[in-house]
Every structure is written in C-alpha cells, then in structure tokens.
Chain A
C-alpha cells in the first residue's frame, strides 16, 4: 500500500472488560463500535465500510444501522483484524468507501450469544487431528514448542520468563485482568495444562471487544484525535492444521507477513519503538521476535530473558500485558492493534516515551495465519 495514505481516526475497546455476563456478543460489538464512533466524532450514518471476523459483517452492519458500500468478512482467526486494516486501506485508496469500521467482540468467558465451536468430522482437521484428542488451543497451539525448545536449547524456565515479564507490563495497566507480579517459579508451579505448558503460560479467557475507524490520511487531519497512520501492512496464511506446519521452529505465515509489512513501510528494525506480538501462549513472542527479524533464529528467548522487551528495555513488547495478562477474548488481534494505537497517540497506561513507530503482529488459528500492521504517528 501507499505509505501513510490511510489513518486510524477512531479506536476504542468495550466499556467493560473481563467478565461481562450482562451483554451478548453482538451487544459487545455494538458497544465497541459506539465507543470508537464517539472517539472519532461520528455516528453510524458516517460509516460506509464494515469489517468483522467470526461474526458476520452483515449482522454488525444491520445491528448498528450502517449501509455500507464495502464489507470484509475475512475470518482467519485472531489476526483477522490486522487483515481488515490492510484490506480497508486498499479499499479506501481505491475509492470503494471512505470511512471503515472494524469491530471485534467475543463473549469468550461468559458465552452469551457466542458461536458454538465445532469441527466437521469430514474436514481435514476433523479427520487428521481431532481423533487424537485435541480439544482447543492449549492442546494444539502448544505442540510445536517442544521441537523449538530442543532445537535451540530453550528451557521451560525461558518460556516461563515470557509470562513473568509481560506481567510486569500488566502491573502498569489498570485495565489488565492480572496485575500482581509473578516469578518463574510461580509459572512453573501453576497447574499443568498441556505439558510443557502450565496455566500461566496460556492466555486468559475473557469477554470484551474493540473497534477501529479508518479513513484517508487527507481526511484524518479533520478528526478530533491525533491520526495514527498506516505505514506498512502484511498478511499470509500457512495451514489449517498445526501438524502440517512446514517447520515447527518457525512460522512461515509470520515470516511472509512480517517481511511484506517491513518492505511496505520501508523501515529498519532499529526504527521500531514499540512492538505487539499476539501472545496466545508464551512461546509466541519468541517465534514472533525471530520470524519478524528482531532476533536471529534461536535467540528470541534469550532476548526476552535479558530484559530487552521488559519495562526499560530497548524494544518494549506487549505493553498492555498481552493475552497472557491483559485480556484475551478469543481473537486477541484487535487488542494488540488498540495498544499500538494508544502508544502512537501517546495515551497508553505504560506509555513508551517518544514512540514514533509501532508494529502490531497477529497470529490466527494455530500458526494458521498472520497479519502485520506498521503504525506511525508522524504526519505524511
């Protein structure tokens, strides 16, 4: 895409976060959308593009009273919202619409009006993975990690350290679900979920949502909030089955999406002030750091252990506390984007001083898909 041709002019999460039994999933979509519209000084009649994942954009558009000229229902897992941002930028540049609303909501914990999770026994996963006892992400997303750990000599303590350091960020965030500091021993002594993964190496399951509003950079200047420009974007997919990943020590979708986003943005790694890597489980930031090129292969865990991504480190990572400590409703990508926007606006609870470039990198499914957005707060 053309650098800084499109900007985020509205961004908000749901009013409540965590456990919200008094609102359905659809109502959470609307709550996030209304908060983002208020943030941008708009109402539904100003929106002409709608995107969402999991649920149908037809449902959210109609529920909110929007008549769009562009919709995107790309639903490739928790990074779908990164892909929506990318597709929306292209649509706005092509003149298909002017003002796009992207919503996410999930009653992940309370399960009010939430989709049922089922796998067709005729699907590839239904035939070749489900019969072996995979239940949900903790028994699937974790499977590659042991191969990675053996290949690079990474220990369970190293993986636990990812959760420990992210909790340090969460401690600075009043909206984070878990804010008490933890130790490596706390992580290793927490309940075994799917060896070698303990409870505190797995993301939360919460209720919530978020929404973004995008428009052309030219129009963005006239909105109430400081525009956050899209500098580069990437996306890719690899496989619907974790067992069929090309290499268990690296994500092809991460590498392809990340490189595309860096190429579009025309930046070096040293230009990046702030980074979000979707952390459904504690090994993901390690893979992300390596596959995005911030570290050499096998060095991601040491990079985190040496506090480069911790408060005060040179590459602040997952500064909201991440899916491990902030919140994770099921499709976390939206919250990574929200934190990048907050950092670029300069209003994050754990604000990185003078941050000018932020990257939000998402995963979908079990290493199935990926989307990467590079943000800048400097006007074109």
Chain B
C-alpha cells in the first residue's frame, strides 16, 4: 500500500521474527528456556536472567487495556478525529503500545482493564501493525 502515510517500523535482525509474525497474522513473543520469562520487545537474550537460549512463542492475541491517552493534537496522517494511544497488557504478561480501534475514541468507550483482542492493520506487503479492538 504505497499510500500508507504514517511512520513505519524498520525491522532489525533481532526484531524480524516479530514483524514477520505480524505480517502472518500473529504476535510472536520470546520466552527464556532457562527461567521461562516471556518478554517483549524482542531481543536475542533473556532480560530477566541474561541467558542466550530463548525461543519464539505465539501469543494468544488477548489483552487488557492498561493505560492510554486520547491525542487531540493534529496528526493528519491519523485522520481528523482524536485517536487513542494505548498500552495493553498481553495475556502472556508483556505490555505493548498500540491503538485501540473499532470503537469510539472516547473515555466512555475506553475503560481500563477492558478485554481486547489483536487485529492486524496492513501497511505494506512487509509490515502489518498489531492493533487492538474490544473483545467479541
């Protein structure tokens, strides 16, 4: 989609598996084979115990709303309406920044701890962004 106007991530060797996962429709986290810690953002060692033996695991895509703001400053690339910038807590433990979509961008519609599910927004053939919507 050559018309995607928003900033795009550029994967590095350590994060490629994550963005490949998003392109393929799943969130890929990493888990330490030594201490079992599941973590994000990607890196090729465990931030909890420094072990290098880690594996990529598929996340459920379920999350809850941890915190957010509704940005009212001009971001024409995000449209004219205010939009949420949120941090969600994944079922597996890690948190990630995202946008909450498919619901009104209002404090009333966005309740902390509400259940969410991932949906992927295709930006280019290589990059899809993980966004979250109210769980059905």
List chain A positions with a Cβ less than 8 A from chain B.
Answer: 121-122, 124, 126-135, 138-140, 142-147, 150, 191-197, 241-244, 248
Q: Chain A residue with minimal CB distance to B83?
A: A133
A146, B68: Cβ atoms under 8 Å? Answer: yes
Q: Is the CB of B73 within 8 A of A143?
A: no
- Across the interface, which residues of A come within 8 angstroms of B73, CB to CB? 135, 138-139, 193-194
Tally of B interface residues using CB under 8 Å: 34
Verify B41–A139 contact, CB threshold 8 A: no
Residues of chain B with a CB closer than 8 A to A122's CB: 9-12
**18 further contact pairs, Cβ within 8 A, besides A132-B129, A196-B107:** A121-B10, A126-B7, A127-B12, A128-B97, A132-B86, A132-B97, A133-B6, A133-B83, A135-B73, A143-B85, A143-B97, A144-B67, A146-B69, A194-B70, A195-B70, A195-B72, A242-B87, A243-B97
> In the assembly, what is the distance between CA of A209 and CA of B60, in Å?
50
Neighbour of A147 across the interface among B8, B66, B107, CB < 8 A: B66
CB nearest to A134 among chain B residues: B85
Q: Is B54 an interface residue (CB 8 A)?
A: no
Distance in angstroms from B112 CB to nearest chain A CB is 5
Say yes or no: A127-B72 contact (C-beta < 8 A), given A139-B85, A143-B67, A244-B95: no
**Residues of chain A within 8 A of B41, CB atoms compared:** 124, 127-128, 241, 244
Nearest first, the 10 A-B pairs at minimum CB distance are A127-B9, A147-B67, A195-B70, A243-B97, A121-B10, A194-B69, A122-B10, A192-B72, A243-B87, A146-B67
Pick from A121, A195, A197, A243: contact of B95, CB below 8 A. A243
A121 touches B66 (CB 8 A): no
Chain B residues in 8 Å Cβ range of A127: 9-12, 15, 19, 41
- Chain A nearest CB from B13 CB (Å) reads 10
Q: Is the CB of B66 within 8 A of A139?
A: no
How far does the alpha carbon of A364 sit from the alpha carbon of B3 in the complex, in Å? 36
CB < 8 Å neighbour of A197 from B66, B69, B107, B129? B69
Residues in B with CB closer than 8 Å to A135 are 71, 73, 75
- Name the B residues within 8 Å of A244 (CB-CB): 41, 95
Bound-state Cα–Cα, A340 to B72, Å: 35
If over half of A's interface residues share one DSSP class (helix, strand or loop), that class is named, otherwise mixed; here it is mixed
23 contacts across the A-B interface (CB closer than 8 A): A122-B10, A122-B11, A126-B7, A127-B9, A129-B97, A131-B7, A131-B8, A131-B9, A132-B86, A143-B67, A143-B85, A146-B69, A150-B112, A192-B72, A193-B73, A194-B69, A194-B72, A195-B107, A241-B41, A242-B87, A243-B96, A244-B41, A248-B67
B-side residues, CB < 8 A to A, are 6-12, 15, 19, 41, 66-73, 75, 77-78, 82-83, 85-87, 95-99, 107, 112, 129
What is the CA–CA distance of A354 and B12 in the complex, to the nearest angstrom? 56
Contacts of B77 in A (CB 8 A): 133
Bound state CA distance, A135 and B75, in angstroms? 8
A117 to B127, CA, bound (A): 24
Please, how many angstroms separate the alpha-carbon atoms of A355 and B76 in the complex? 50
Q: In whole angstroms, what is the CA distance A33 to B82 when docked?
A: 43
Q: Are B96 and A128 in contact (CB under 8 A)?
A: yes
B3 to chain A, nearest CB (A): 16
Docked pose: A286 CA to B87 CA in angstroms: 21
Closest A residue, CB atoms, query B97: A243
Kindly provide the distance from the CB of A334 to the nearest chain B CB, expressed in whole angstroms.
26
**A150 to chain B: which residues have CB within 8 Å?**
112
A146 to B85, CA, bound (A): 12
Chain A residue numbers with a CB within 8 Å of B66 are 147, 248
Bound CA–CA A130/B129 (angstroms): 11
A195 touches B69 (CB 8 A): yes
Distance between Cα atoms of A108 and B10 in the complex (Å): 29
Check A132–B99 contact: CB distance below 8 A. Answer: yes
Alpha-carbon separation in the docked complex, A242 to B67 (Å): 11
Chain B nearest CB, measured from A226 CB (Å): 44
Contact A126–B69 (Cβ < 8 Å)? no
Interfacial chain A residues near B9, Cβ < 8 Å: 121-122, 126-128, 130-131
Expressed in whole angstroms, the Cα–Cα distance for A135 and B82 within the complex equals: 13
